Structure 1
Amino acid sequence: MRQETRRCLELDRAHCWHPFTPQDDWCSTDFEPIAIARGQGVWLFDTENRRYFDGNSSIWTNIHGHAHPHITAAIQRQAETICHSSFLGYTHPLAAELAEKLTRLLPGQPMERVFFSDNGSTAIEVALKMALQYRQQTGEPERNGFIAFVNGYHGDTLGAASIGGVSRFFDRFRGPGHPLHQISSIEDLHQLPEEIVRSTAGLVIEPLIQGVNQMRPWPPGTLAELRRWSTANGIHLILDEVMTGFGRTGKMFACQHENVVPDFLCLAKGLTGGYLPLAATLTTQEIYDAFRGPAENAFYYGHSYTANPLGCAAALASLEVFESEKTLEMLQPKLATFSSRLEALGNQSPQIKEIRQVGLIAGIELHSHPTRSGKSVCQLAMKHGLSTRPILDTIVIMPPLCTTESELDFVFEALQSSLNESGH
């Protein structure tokens, strides 16, 4: 083990606290964490210079690959100018330009206003608070609750957690959060009591596919029906496209598959190509106008790093790469390859219970077994140069959009080898 690796692990175990991680397992002497030192394209390299395919896009963020020269250069140029200035009381050219470009990405009914924040959780917080304050300022203060879906995941800040549906993450935080009514399906929605409907400010969903719920797609037409129902009942539709945005599903946004424009569109992760923390909540001019007038109507919410210039530079560069490299156009044949390789994997691997896919997002669920688990298969995959994480016994495969077909071959060969070695 190199001295650099040894020092990193010693300091980490002494001082770091990792997310979603049982710390006794992490600090066990039987476990040796991987220390990532650099990235290039779809590959990660650890401090021992071992190479791994970035099979979940660094927790669903990376779009164009690591160290992309265009994005890297944009960040470097901006760093030489200014790294941060306040967006409270000031503006800057990159934020203004990025806001304009984001509002033009959804055709049809425009979403003309952009509120910047830091991450997916805060993008959701912004939408929830705007939806509530909008009702207070338009004569409907009784509309103070939300509808969300069982097993949904919308972030970990207190407001976002209160509408989450994954019990192991959120049950202990229910009390202080927003009033919530959870549903499982469109059928549940249509059976809601009228008093629930009348007291609801917004309906929140991860469009096309739930992420943390082991990558489970919605039935076709779900999103279009939610738009119809929410419009008919005067309820704001809030789309959490933190995971699905920026090409993951084969279109720029998942909602475009069903020609739906929401009242709030929440973006993060891939917004900067996966390079820097930045989030955006898009909404309509009608909602924005309700916050004009006297000072007490203002939206008193924000973060120190709102509209951070480095993040805006990365986001603009990422959108430029979408255009210059024709990312969405070049993605289409890869989606066909991805689907065929998933099908072949399922046919060859009796350990697999079900494969669920939307675009370049896949969840490979394993049959329950006393010694084989999603975690153990992912640990084997690391030995074959594939880095990813399971959700329970579902292995997540979400490669960067720039992945080549030969690199996809590598992914599925590593998966097949890992499944074979897991035995049983």
Structure 2
Amino acid sequence: MNSPIWRPFTQMKTTPEPLKVKRGQGVWLELEDDRRILDCISSWWVTIHGHSHPVLAEALYQQAQQLEHVIFAGFTHDPAEKLAQKLLTQLPSELTRVFFSDNGSTAIEVALKMAYQYWRNLGENRTTFITFEGGYHGDTIGAMSIGAGSTWWQKFRDLMFETALVPFPETYQGDMEIERKEAEVLEAIEQLLKQQNIIGIFIEPLIQGAGGMRMCRPQFLKNLQILAAHFKVLLIYDEVMTGFGRTGELFACLKSAATPDIICLSKGLSGGCLPLSVTIATEAVYQAFYHDDPTQAFYHGHSYTGNPLACATGVASLGLLTQNPEAYQRLESLHWKFLDRYLLDHSRLKQFRVCGTIVAMEVKTNEESGYFNAISPLLRAKFLEAGFLLRPLGDTLYIMPPYCITEDELESIYEVIDRVLKSL
């Protein structure tokens, strides 16, 4: 294939040619040569209902005949208003104000600027965010800065601002040290908060995504909220990946019973149909911008802010989630069932963890653990050859399927992982 396309997260010189997909249906992708691939990762975690879902397709079709786009400054429309209202009915009541943007990275940039200006509007010159090692929040400069623990961003270091970086208290099956780890992290955060220059705390609640599917306990998030409230700093949840059922609850903040001051949502927001994100804030945050002085306003926006097509699919997607929560709630027990049947005793695997629809584990290798571990492209190629789309994050192997996956289809993923690992 002689394509002019420069692909994301790809070393173009050494990576094999991409596979051309001609259609998708449910969990399946059909290639140009008629081979079928089982999408085990929801196409980078967005396609929560599966491909070509008829309800989403119909919503998109109907909206396209009425209004495809309109400037969102000075105008509004039903899809955006409905989506905002429906989101608020599913979130903690303290979250009241919805700001639209285009993708996960922009939702994070909005939260960064919103939190920073919040304190400026109140007359305080706070300068620092607390962030977590292993965090990933997107690829724009601000998002990279708060995900500075990633090895990907070293070449951009001079463009990024500094944060106060603390360990992430990751845990897994059989972890006997988790209470000690949590206590040490909370103590480190408390010492930073005493400096009184902290804008807010950014965290991916329950699961760090691209940082290796590292998981923390709900009670850690509750203790973090208590600490943030005591020192009166903003708690900001990046639920770009964890939102819309991924953790077994509609939102991770519901599972942890800890309400943030600002929450960022994207990926599954439109059901995987179109780019869309929201940054949702409490009334207290919003009121710091609500002023007669125009310079107190939040000056941020994008050309496609609140796009009607994306919002219409968002309304339809949220309807599917609330009408049939069992679709995502059933997956955690199935993951444990098949882990026990195929992988828990596997000699090549360790550190098993499950949260809702997501399962992750580490592959034992002789290399240093991390994203550039050579096991990743090797496994990816073998899985594709067998008809399965799995993209290990270095030596972290994970499954994050669309919610429409059947029990037999899910079991086949575990079977192929077992078979491929035994062949190495």
TM over 0.5: yes
Change in 2 beyond 3 A, CA 1:404/1:285: same
Q: CA deviation at 1:372?
A: 7.3
Q: Corresponding residue for 2:113?
A: 129
Q: 2:114, 2:143 → 1: CA distance?
A: 13
8 Å CA contact retained: 1:207, 1:254: yes
Q: 2:208, 2:347 → 1: CA distance?
A: 25
Q: Corresponding residue for 1:46?
A: 31
Q: 2:316, 2:260 → 1: CA distance?
A: 26
Q: 1:420, 1:329 → 2: CA distance?
A: 34
Change in 2 beyond 3 A, CA 1:380/1:236: same
TM-score computed with the length of structure 2 as normaliser: 0.91
Q: Could you tell me which of 8, 11, 30 is aligned with 1:22?
A: 11
Q: 2:149, 2:11 → 1: CA distance?
A: 17
- Show CA shifts across 1:120-174 (max 9, x none): 1111111110001010011212x12100001100111111111104432223334
Q: CA deviation at 1:421?
A: 2.2
Q: Corresponding residue for 1:329?
A: 326
In the TM superposition, structure 1's runs of 4+ consecutive aligned residues that sit over 6 Å from their partners are none
Which structure 2 residue ranges, 5 or more long, are not aligned? 169-181, 368-372
8 Å CA contact retained: 2:343, 2:414: no
Q: 2:195, 2:70 → 1: CA distance?
A: 42
Q: Match of 1:171, SS?
A: helix
Q: 2:218, 2:321 → 1: CA distance?
A: 27
Q: Corresponding residue for 1:118?
A: 102
Q: Corresponding residue for 1:3?
A: none
- Show CA shifts across 1:335-356 (max 9, x none): 2111121233323531113322
Change in 2 beyond 3 A, CA 1:296/1:377: same
Q: 1:342, 1:375 → 2: CA distance?
A: 23
Map 1:290-369 to 2 at 5 A.
290-293=288-291, 294-324=293-323, 326=324, 328-369=325-366
TM-score computed with the length of structure 1 as normaliser: 0.91
In structure 2, what residue type is equivalent to 1:304? S
Q: Corresponding residue for 1:6?
A: none
8 Å CA contact retained: 1:203, 1:237: yes
Q: 2:104, 2:83 → 1: CA distance?
A: 17
Q: Match of 1:381, SS?
A: helix
Q: Corresponding residue for 1:95?
A: 80
Q: 2:305, 2:69 → 1: CA distance?
A: 9
Q: Could you tell me which of 374, 377, 394 is aligned with 1:375?
A: 377
Q: Match of 2:144, SS?
A: helix
In structure 1, what residue type is equivalent to 2:44? I
In structure 2, what residue type is equivalent to 1:307? G
Q: CA deviation at 1:176?
A: 3.5
Q: Corresponding residue for 1:271?
A: 269
In structure 2, what residue type is equivalent to 1:94? P
Q: 1:174, 1:163 → 2: CA distance?
A: 12
Q: Corresponding residue for 2:2?
A: 10
- Please, which moves more after superposition, 376-385 or 341-350? 341-350
8 Å CA contact retained: 2:329, 2:356: no
Q: Corresponding residue for 1:4?
A: none
Say yes or no: does 1:138 pair with 2:143.
Answer: no
Map 1:157-172 to 2 at 5 A.
157-172=140-155
Q: Corresponding residue for 2:179?
A: none
Q: Corresponding residue for 2:173?
A: none
Q: 1:288, 1:348 → 2: CA distance?
A: 51
Q: Corresponding residue for 2:175?
A: none
8 Å CA contact retained: 1:378, 1:395: no
Q: 2:36, 2:50 → 1: CA distance?
A: 14
Q: Could you tell me which of 211, 215, 218 is aligned with 2:216?
A: 218
Change in 2 beyond 3 A, CA 1:200/1:400: same
Q: Corresponding residue for 1:80?
A: 65
Q: Match of 2:361, SS?
A: strand
Q: Corresponding residue for 1:55?
A: 40
Change in 2 beyond 3 A, CA 1:163/1:358: same
Q: Corresponding residue for 1:385?
A: 387
- Please, which moves more after superposition, 384-393 or 340-349? 340-349
Instruction: Give identity over the alignment, percent.
Output: 42
Q: 1:231, 1:344 → 2: CA distance?
A: 44
Q: CA deviation at 1:392?
A: 0.6
In structure 1, what residue type is equivalent to 2:53? H
8 Å CA contact retained: 2:69, 2:307: yes
Q: Match of 1:112, SS?
A: strand
Which structure 1 residue ranges, 5 or more long, are not aligned? 1-8
Change in 2 beyond 3 A, CA 1:21/1:194: closer
Q: Corresponding residue for 1:156?
A: 139
- Please, which moves more after superposition, 170-179 or 180-189? 170-179
8 Å CA contact retained: 1:98, 1:316: yes
Q: 1:202, 1:372 → 2: CA distance?
A: 37
- Show CA shifts across 1:67-101 (max 9, x none): 11010000011112221111022111111111111
* CA RMSD, Structure 1 to Structure 2 (Å): 1.8
- Show CA shifts across 1:338-388 (max 9, x none): 112123332353111332221111223111147971321221111221112
Q: CA deviation at 1:280?
A: 0.4
Q: CA deviation at 1:221?
A: 1.2
Q: Match of 1:24, SS?
A: coil
Q: 1:110, 1:197 → 2: CA distance?
A: 27
8 Å CA contact retained: 1:149, 1:205: yes
Change in 2 beyond 3 A, CA 1:375/1:353: farther
Change in 2 beyond 3 A, CA 1:352/1:372: farther
Q: Corresponding residue for 1:401?
A: 403
- Please, which moves more after superposition, 86-95 or 299-308? 86-95
